[in-house]
Amino acid sequence: MPTPKLNIRSGHPDFLDLDWSRSVTEWDPDRLVDLPTGIHRHEIVFVPYLRDIYAVKEMSLELARHEWQMLRGLRDRDASVVEPVGIVERPWIPPDEEGAGAVITRYLDYTFSYRELIEGGGFGPRRNQMLDAFANLLVELHLLGAFWGDCSLSNVLYRYDAEALQVTMVDAETVSLHDRLTEGQRTEDLHLMIENVAGGMADIAASQDIEVDAGDLALGDDIALRYEGLWHELTRDEEIRRDETYKIHDRVERLNAMGFEVEDVEIVPGAEGESRLRLRLKVGGRRFHAHRLYELARVEATERQARQILSDLHYHHAKQGTDSPAGKAVAAVQWRVNVFEPLLVRIEQAMGPSGNPVQGYADFLHHRYLLAEQAGRDIETEEAFEDWLVSGRPGYPLS
């Protein structure tokens, strides 16, 4: 049996039990799981292990090495991209042939493709959420210096994120990383996205034998408009008076509320010299609240899920009247141990193995808020939880 070269990151299986002497298309089906992949150019299979499921994608050696490096670079910049786990090289196959290389990534739990939400020829009730999420991802990548080069709906996966959706890039074959993108690179990526989205919608219409309408073909233009609005908000310079420095804190807090990390604040003289200042912010990835929740509870969550769950921590802080930094630190530990972790276990038991308990926690908090609003008073957690279960564990209404 030929011996492959495997480079696997720590904390994952060694994958030596897989038959690398054969193409993934020839692997034993009993060793694989069938999961949706969407449209793709290369062979992809999914392999379950004790703790996680892994995607194995075959391609040429040069392309595999490039994607491996881009995925690692994107993760280092904290981009919303699948986790790269390993690269496999098959030296007995010519390097320019398919299968000479393979990239292994960790499968994202609770995700789905955009096709699974399509109703007829359009996006149905979650249309706006999907377009916003896609625009947010493209803005995030561009802020981090990533030129996508093949931006399309087929190269991402969606998952529920409290009342919204989150998008994760799963294909980095055409990505290039830079310190900062030029206006030309951003414009080119937007034009490619518009073309790819229109083509993807036309392909879906053809496969379903339905008429494709102008609205579907213009989805890319809709995403571009949302992108431009968000890009302006995140990157615009702002002039302030020297006695208005509080606006720096306000601006940073607004961006944090949107989920974006602010990596650097630059203050330079404004147009009126000494009398005014010009504020420039360097904005990073969109994981502000997710990082905060992970620091507190070691729980991985999407950004809006984390923001909603952290609101529960603030709710308990307010009930206890905790003001001092030390008191807040102690209250955070008490909340995690006495409230968050036990309730998360109960939600996981109620939802079963196929449910997403973190999303369930966010759903429950929204339900508790609605009950309190209707009653005009605080609703205790236990009372709200029992009502949530009896009501069928409702989630967020579609908007």
Count CB atoms within 10 A of the CB of residue 280: 13
Whose structure tokens read 């670079």? 73
Between CA 369 and CA 378, with CA 375 as vertex, the angle to 5 degrees is 55
pLDDT value of residue 345: 92
**Which pLDDT belongs to residue 121?**
47
For the beta sheet containing 53-59, the strands, ordered from the edge strand earlier in sequence to the opposite edge, are 5-8, 83-89, 101-106, 53-59, 44-48
Q: What DSSP character marks residue 354?
A: T
Single-letter code of the amino acid located at 328 = K
- The confidence score (pLDDT) of residue 255 equals 81
CB atoms within 10 A of CB 188: 16
Per-residue pLDDT, 301: 86
| Closest among 219, 215, 238 to 227, alpha carbons compared | 219
pLDDT of the residue at 120: 47
342, 204 in Cβ contact below 8 A? Answer: no
CA dihedral 259, 265, 267, 268 (to 10 degrees): -100
| Domains of the chain, each with CATH number or no CATH | 5-106 (3.30.200), 114-233 (1.10.510.10), 239-283 (no CATH), 288-390 (no CATH)
Of 6, 8, 90, 20, residue with least CA distance to 52: 8
- The residue whose two tokens read 């609205």 is 215
Q: Residue 108: what pLDDT?
A: 86
- Whole-number Å distance between alpha carbons of 395 and 399: 12
Angle (deg, nearest 10), helices 303-320 and 357-375: 50
Q: What are the two backbone dihedrals, phi and then psi, of residue 301, each rounded to the nearest 5 degrees?
A: -145, 160
Nearest to 171 by CA among 143, 151, 193: 151
242, two tokens: 């020297």
Beta bridge partners of 104: 56, 86
Provide the whole-model pTM.
Answer: 0.81
| H-run or E-run covering 15 | none
User: What are the phi and psi torsion angles at 44 (to 5°)?
Assistant: -135, 135
Which run of H or of E encompasses 6? strand 5-8
**pLDDT for the residue 318:** 72
Judge contact between 137 and 156, C-beta under 8 A: yes
- Residue 332 is encoded by which pair of tokens? 């955070």
Query: CA-CA-CA-CA torsion for 53, 301, 256, 343, nearest 10 degrees?
Result: 180
One digit per residue, pLDDT tens: the chain, 399 residues? 678 999 999 999 999 999 999 999 999 999 999 887 666 788 999 999 988 999 999 999 999 999 999 999 999 998 999 999 999 999 999 999 999 999 999 998 888 877 776 654 445 667 788 888 899 999 999 999 999 998 888 888 888 888 778 889 999 999 999 999 999 999 999 999 999 888 777 776 666 666 666 556 778 899 999 999 989 888 888 887 777 777 777 888 888 887 777 777 777 776 665 667 776 677 777 778 888 888 877 778 888 888 888 888 887 777 766 666 666 777 788 888 888 989 999 999 999 887 889 999 999 999 998 998 888 888 888 999 999 999 999 888 765
